[in-house]
Amino acid sequence: MSIKVMSRVWDYSKQEGTKLLLLLALADFARDDGRAWPSVKTLAKKARCGKRNAQYILREIAKDGEIAIAKETGPRGTNLYTVLVGVQPIAPPIYAEGVQPIAGGGAIQRTKGVQPIAPEPLITIIEPLLKEDKAKKIPEAVKVFRENAARYPAKSWYATLDSEIGKAEKDLKFWGEVVHGYVGMGWNPGNVSNMLEFYKRREIPGGGNGKGPPSDDGYDERLLKRRATAKASLEKAKGKHEAT
């Protein structure tokens, strides 16, 4: 969560009611540059509204110019949002006395010996989304956490995650499933301690318990079986409800 982005929403947003609540939910996932990529389902749950209503509201907020939406350009094909509330637009060029731009475009006319004055930038240029990943000090488990929780954990957790999760591909994959499931349940994404407890128990939040280490060859098969069982249970419950 970015305190700067949350403060901008509180101070400058013109949204009210559910629209404001959804914008605050989005800001809760945002980095300092205003970017966030939570799923619509997660935002709807935090804002206490339906998924379709959340999609409609996000489009309305974008029309108001308070967010920008880049469809399916975030991690795992999610939408990439940029919170624009309170960001001052870049000012047009400022020219010194004797410097006039030609109407309709083209070269700039300058009085001899006079140079245009470059304006001071009014906003910080948004850094590439994955710039931090280039730093060699960031463990793979932390990168996986970022991809699934739309935020980085506190730096005090870096060494612990590197030690507990390691670098094995299937261990990292299982860790990603744990983080994704935990955040998907609407729980606090900053509670890394609880996520590690799920990981150690070989349990995916909302997906049932697994048996055996995640690096075991049968892990993927068990995960698919758990998902199929959960889906069948939901369909069965839905059928009973419709019958009544």
For residues 102 and 109, is the Cβ–Cβ distance under 8 A?
Answer: yes
Instruction: Report yes or no on 234 lying in a domain.
Output: no
Instruction: Report yes or no on 107 lying in a domain.
Output: yes
Query: Once rounded to an integer, what is the mean pLDDT over residues 232-241?
Result: 72
Percent of the chain with pLDDT over 90: 35
What pLDDT score does 2 carry?
Answer: 72
> Are residues 97 and 163 part of one domain?
no
Percent of the chain with pLDDT over 70: 68
Q: Between the ranges 25-34, 66-75, 168-177, where is the mean pLDDT highest?
A: 168-177
Residue 223 has pLDDT above 60, yes or no: no
**pLDDT top residue among 164 and 92:** 164
Domain count for the chain? 3
Instruction: Report yes or no on 239 lying in a domain.
Output: no
> Are residues 206 and 185 part of one domain?
yes
User: Which of 78, 148, 91 lies closest to 118, judged by CA?
Assistant: 91
> Are residues 159 and 111 part of one domain?
no
Could you tell me where the DSSP H helices lie in the chain?
A: 3-12, 17-29, 40-47, 51-63, 140-149, 158-165, 169-184, 192-200, 219-243
Instruction: Report yes or no on 237 lying in a domain.
Output: no
Instruction: Report yes or no on 235 lying in a domain.
Output: no
DSSP of 108-168, one letter per residue?
EEE-TT--PBPPPPSSPPPPPTTGGGG-TTS-HHHHHHHHHHSSPPPGGGHHHHHHHH-S-
Residue 225 has pLDDT above 80, yes or no: no
What pLDDT score does 85 carry?
Answer: 87
Q: What are phi and psi of 40, to 5 degrees?
A: -60, -35
**pLDDT top residue among 83 and 237:** 83
Distance CA 153, CA 170 (A): 21
> Are residues 117 and 57 part of one domain?
no
> Are residues 18 and 72 part of one domain?
yes
28-32, 80-84, 126-130, range with the lowest pLDDT? 126-130
Longest dimension (CA), the chain: 87
**pLDDT top residue among 149 and 221:** 149
> Are residues 46 and 10 part of one domain?
yes
pLDDT in tens, 156-167: 999 999 999 999
Report the CATH number that the domain containing residue 46 is assigned in CATH: 1.10.10.10
> Are residues 100 and 78 part of one domain?
no
pTM of structure: 0.38
Q: Would you tell me how many other CB atoms lie within 10 Å of the CB of residue 126?
A: 13
What pLDDT score does 88 carry?
Answer: 61
What pLDDT score does 112 carry?
Answer: 54
> Are residues 204 and 161 part of one domain?
yes
Q: What does R_g of the chain's alpha carbons equal in angstroms?
A: 24
Domain residues for the domain of 105 are 89-122
Distance CA 146, CA 154 (A): 11
Instruction: Report yes or no on 127 lying in a domain.
Output: no
Instruction: Report yes or no on 238 lying in a domain.
Output: no
Please report the sign of the dihedral spanned by the C-alpha atoms of residue 84, residue 85, residue 87, residue 92. Answer: positive
